[in-house]
Amino acid sequence: MPMLVLPQELTHRQAPACLRMLLQGLKVHKEPNVVVDAQALALFDTSALAVLLECRREALSDRKTFAVQGLPAALASMAGLYGVAELLPAA
């Protein structure tokens, strides 16, 4: 199962490069299950949610499953606040 890893910092400034990296990883890995490892994520804003949701959209459009491992509690709370928590299932 491919493991895509988020950086320690994912704010508006890093979001475009991080998304490009994740989407490239999706193309390289042909397995049907995708897991994004968010354990290293320490500094983030709502851009992190946008990146994860776009990665999920791309994975699902490629007929792959999508899950997140180690989502920080504050980011999980933010996802709940915006009503998207169920779109970021835990691995």
Q: Domain holding 44: CATH number?
A: 3.30.750.24
Task: Show the beta-strand stretches assigned E in 3-91.
Answer: 3-5, 9-10, 33-37, 43-44, 65-69
Domain range holding 26? 3-87
Average predicted confidence (pLDDT) for the chain: 95
DSSP 1: -
Other beta carbons within 10 angstroms of residue 86's beta carbon come to 8
Per residue in 17-47, pLDDT (tens digit) is 999 999 999 999 889 999 999 999 999 999 9
% of the chain beyond a pLDDT of 70: 98
Say how many domains are in the chain.
1
* d(C-alpha 80, C-alpha 73), whole Å: 10
Other beta carbons within 10 angstroms of residue 49's beta carbon come to 21
Paired residues of 65 in beta bridges: 33
